[in-house]
Amino acid sequence: MTTLVDQTYSTQSVTACDRLRTTMAAVRLSFNWLGVRKSLSSAQKNQAADSFGAEGKFLSAGKKLLDTSHPAYQAVTTIRGRTITYWKDVSLPFPEPGIRLMRRNAIEDFDQRLSEFCVELDDAVANLNRHYDDLRFAARERLGELYNESDYPSTLIGLFAIEYDYPNVEPPSYLRQLNPELYEQECQRVKARFDEAVQLAEQAFLDELAKLVDHISERLSGEHDGKPKVFRDTAITNLSDFFERFQSLNVRSNEQLDELVERAQQIVHGVKPQQLRQSESLRQQIVTQLASVQSSLDGLLVDRPRRNIQRRPK
């Protein structure tokens, strides 16, 4: 039986789906990255298995080619992490691996920022390459007989790269004339993808808000050794960052979620971390008000209409 809530949600989903398709663009991010682990050869696995009285074919073993804890290597991987974080912060999920949805009016800034990350990565790789001989020497010392010179390229330059593009996720227009029936099938498939994207975005916002509200409430109300728990500025700034991102990316798919975000924003509006550290009464006031938001979030997460979301492997 279809309830009024189901009907209302369905109407909202269609509207939000249309908004996604008309205001967003698909952005795909990927990386070319040097592999630093390699499986042992069959002979090496057999040799290792012998020490345990095992059969080599039942043993999985590998070797680490480079010390990934080296500061120069860490600098390279840090840029990759920052790039992924930025990409996710300015976009919404889409049910295809490596693709997210971004406001079309944000593409220019995104492109500029990714170009900067690419330059940073090239500089970091150049620095890593300067330490490459030392890293290979250390690997030779640590790997012993497992060291194989052929596992190592002559240079690291060009082996790390950030790649991004803006794929078309809409049905190809030529299908309309070529095969109208197939074109209609593609239209329905794409619509289903965007419907799912709405659901994924809403779920992501709900989960993040619930996590942030729970964290700040726990920090404000908890004690350690009879004293208030340490309350860091990030408990507030992370929530503020969420409000900005929600305002920028929200497609207004759920009025209850919109109302909860507004309530949470009003509760902490103008509140400074130092004020919360200094005033117990203010901490209790914020905790009490956020408890109502937590309760509503819990109800929304549990009672929201069920969706048939087909999860894809990452």
Q: Are 56 and 45 in contact (CB under 8 A)?
A: yes
* pTM reported for the whole predicted model: 0.83
CA 73 – CA 160 distance, rounded (Å): 11
Of the candidates 272, 204, 265, 260, the residue with the CA atom closest to the CA atom of residue 239: 265
Q: pLDDT (tens digit, 0 to 9) for every residue of the chain, 314 residues total? A: 333 334 444 444 457 888 899 999 999 999 999 999 888 888 877 777 777 777 777 777 788 999 999 999 999 999 999 999 999 999 999 999 999 999 999 999 999 999 999 999 999 999 999 999 999 999 999 989 889 999 999 999 999 999 999 999 999 989 988 999 999 999 999 999 999 999 999 999 999 999 999 989 888 886 666 666 777 888 889 999 999 999 999 888 888 999 999 999 999 998 888 888 888 888 889 999 999 999 888 887 765 544 444 443 33
HSE on the CB side for 87, CA within 13 Å?
26
Answer positive or negative: Cα dihedral of 99, 105, 108, 110: negative
For residue 39, the surrounding DSSP H or E stretch is strand 37-39
Phi/psi zone of residue 226: left (φ > 0), alpha (ψ -120 to 50 degrees), beta?
Answer: left
Q: Are 282 and 51 in contact (CB under 8 A)?
A: no
**C-alpha angle with apex 23: 22 to 26, nearest 5 degrees?**
95
Please give the distance of CA 297 from its chain centroid, rounded to a whole number.
Answer: 22
The domains of the chain are located at: 25-35+65-169, 196-303
